[in-house]
Amino acid sequence: MEKIVMPGELLWEEETRVPNTYVEGGRTYATVLGMMRNDKFVPLEMVYAAKPGDNTVGIVTDVRHSGYIVDMNLAQNGFISSKFTRVSFKQGDLIYGRVKFVDEVGNVDLTDAKRLPLGKIVSVPASKVPRIIGKRSSMLNVVRDGTGCSIFVGNNGYIWIGGKGNLQLALKTIQFIIRNAHTQGLTDAVVNYLNENGGNVSAPSRDEPGERSKPSHEDYGEGEPRPRGESSEGEREDTSVAHGGGKHTKDCFDQDCFQG
């Protein structure tokens, strides 16, 4: 059974700590518009707030003596201190890094930053990022395998796509996921979409992700906050080719960008 949930509406009678909710008087309420499906809360919108450990994709917009200013698709820019990186960046470089610290006004310090090769940056709604990634990166790996592209997903809603694969198919598949993020059976639908449009991929054996329920909120994927020291094979593989630089193009995949 599905039910639309408005911000402030009661989700569960008991205290439950899951994203996009708050607890008051021992009860759990929604902070954003969402959907209840079989006692699972699926957020349909949300405002991204950076947290230590988050993976991010960004664009270097300014070079200073003390470090580098990074566009992170947020009200506040990110900052990479030159004291804590051996990599020299230049304006326009695409980077993939991790949030180290967020101060009280939202300024973000980044660490472990790597330069990404020539590619395409797209902006997606932050609420759709978990569905694009999938549980243990299952959905992301389907898109990678079906298109042959290298893909980095940031919690901040920026996605980098590059490599020698089918870039246009990767972009269209991400659009497809965003449009259908609220539906069940999305993994199979994405596999079918890829195969019908020139891809060649099989459905993963894992359960598909994206929803948050009160008993299970311990799974993480690339671009989602992850326990310290945990990583995925897909990320390690892609990180090994994160070098070089170049000009980029950036698209917006918010709802207004789907017109026409």
DSSP letters spanning 118-183:
SEEEEE--GGGHHHHH-GGGHHHHHHHHHH--EEEE-TTSEEEEESSS-HHHHHHHHHHHHHTTTS
Using N-to-C axis directions, what is the helix angle for 167-179 and 186-196, rounded to 10°?
150
Looking at the structure, tell me whether residues 124 and 194 fall in a common domain: yes
Asked if residue 236 and residue 217 are part of one domain, the reply reads yes
* CATH number for 230: 3.30.1370.10
**Cα–Cα dist 66/257, whole Å:** 37
The confidence band for 205, taking pLDDT boundaries of 50, 70 and 90, is: low
Amino acid at 112: D
Domain boundary residue, one of 116, 145, 169: 116
Q: Over 224-240, what HEC string results?
A: CCCCCCCCCHHHHHHHC
Is the pLDDT confidence value at 84 over 80? Answer: yes
Query: Is 3's pLDDT higher than 90?
Result: no
What percent of the chain is modeled with pLDDT above 70? 78
More confidently predicted of 138 and 224: 138
d(CA 95, CA 249): 14
CATH code, domain carrying 111? 2.40.50.140
Domain assignment present for 167: yes
What is the token pair recorded at 22? 């708050």
Same domain, 246 and 143: yes
pLDDT for 112-158, tens place per residue? 999 999 899 999 988 899 999 998 899 999 999 999 999 999 999 99
Question: CA torsion, points 110, 111, 112, 113, in degrees to nearest 10?
Answer: 30
- Are 82 and 22 in the same domain? no
Is the four-CA dihedral 18, 96, 117, 119 of positive or negative sign? Answer: positive
For residue 251, what pLDDT is reported? Answer: 53
- Average pLDDT in the 232-251 region? 37
pLDDT score at 236: 32
Q: Is residue 111 predicted with pLDDT exceeding 90?
A: yes
**Domain membership of residue 59 as a residue range:** 55-116
Q: Which position has the higher pLDDT, 235 or 71? A: 71
- Total number of domains in the chain: 3
Q: How far apart are CA 43 and CA 45, in angstroms?
A: 6
